[in-house]
Structure 1
């Protein structure tokens, strides 16, 4: 009986062990399943986190780009606003300037009309040619008539005012330009008026006309006005510093009008009277232009060329004697000596006098002696000492021959 119970109990125990093992196995499977599930969740979560991190990074980068674009647009906007302000200010200034210029234009038109009317009333007395105290321009009327013309022009000048007259030189109306130019040219012949003309920018206006205008009358009268202004050292320096010699040379190269060439040659001749400007005259082709103009054959032009070379030679000789300069004459480079020799025998006495004086002054420089001997200028100097119609020039030539030992053989 006990044995049966023991056997039953053992069987029950084995069943319990079997159920326990099965439960343990199921628990292990459940645990493994749980671990696998947790791992899967962790991997998924990590993947989600990585994906979110990537998206966040992309959004941060996009945000940064957006901020930069915003700042750039903001800066551009501020720049455009600043430019708009500046443009508005410039527009306002231009409108004001335009309004002022419009008033000035109307005022000048009124003044031009007034000048035309006054000039028309005195047309029979306004000179068509210029006159200077140094006889630069040829007189075509009696002295009394010229005095009346000058008085009329001075009256107009005083009534209109120098500033307005000089301003009219820049007028787009050719007739107004010419009337104003003739007035300035005639008034420039008087020392009293030169300062007023220069102060109002007259030299700049005249040179501008030489450069920009193609009109022969403008060139002729403007050159004459410059010639008149070039009678003072201060004005000569101003004219040269503003490129006056070069502009005159340009006009000469383009013109075949004897009257225009006469005015241009006269202006350069006056500039030759300032030794401090000689090197600049050479550099700006002033002397070449002077000699070139002589080829036209007009006696009045040749007279001005001769006067210019005489002025140049006299000033250069004085500076050499006084020790301010040394060396061969600047005139030798441009063939001036050959021209003087060729034209030393001319019918016009005043021209011949200038040529003879130029040769005498050039001969006073020892450094020119070789040129004088090689070109025959020394023999011409000897001839002048004997045959010149003027006693003072004959004596100057004799003195120069005696003073320079290189010419002793010619004595």
Structure 2
């Protein structure tokens, strides 16, 4: 069923104008809301309107706005203003987005009109639509919304302007400013909405942590080793972790004073790390309790890079595999377990030999499994500190390691720490 059909069906059941319903569905669809959920949201909005006397709009504090609301009036201070271009109904649409706050809390907004909002000003928003975004209410400002400047300042506890540290960023943040050091950057070619597109991809760092970034309008200022202030970025989730997105409307300014970057990742117990749902550049410490199958000297498909079995790739069938080294080590610290995945370089360090050495070892023993067995003997039962990027999905928790080192804690200190954890 097409969107037009869904709109007609819903409008007919509600007894309202189809064009208006279709517009609301398109708005929700643009943000990736499933059609059934979008229809229920629109249905609820119309029902709310009928129950409040045919369109009477409630005046609410920010904290009282809920996903059950259709439209609200509220007075708030503008915390941040971002600008972004999106694809909407086949055309490019510039939207404005950020957060507003009052004494009770803060809420994100998306504005489809240019109301010339400025951080720090207090505004009364009249007839603001409310929609659900990632389980939370969000204000939608459109052509039916009125924006009135208010002279009185509100007593809010939030910082105005959008400045943030990397460790505080979450998917969905918009209109954010960061001061960072570019740690790594490379040019990439992708198939974008306008065909073949060149982007920059890499890693940013500050004193609180590191995050991946994408620059959709490649800028020469974003070169490795430079410290910059980037204004008006938005945060998306990429492979389970927040990712900084630099858009065509973002500005990049070089900083005279270098930004300090944390030497280590954020330290977590494994159980707590898994609860976050994913994190970039963290550290955990635990015992390797097993090395999983598919470790050691493996073969990958030359087309997609997947590990193959008996010369068969799940996507490309029979292929001539390419040798590689990998370890999938199960790490346990008593609070949870995670699979630490070591790439060829780290695996070679653990194994004590490179890919050629592993091939020779396998030929001598006429068994490729001897490489994995050798690795098991060297790491199982020992404690390691692992740094990397954590992803959590239905198949479990995986930590793509960038560092894998023997934990240097002495036996006495370790025993005291374990006893403290047990007593707690």
| TM-score of the pair, normalised by structure 2 | 0.22
Q: Return the index of the structure with the highest Cα Rg.
A: 1
Give 1 or 2: higher strand fraction: 2
- Bigger relative contact order, structure 1 or 2 (CA pairs below 8 A, ≥6 apart): 2
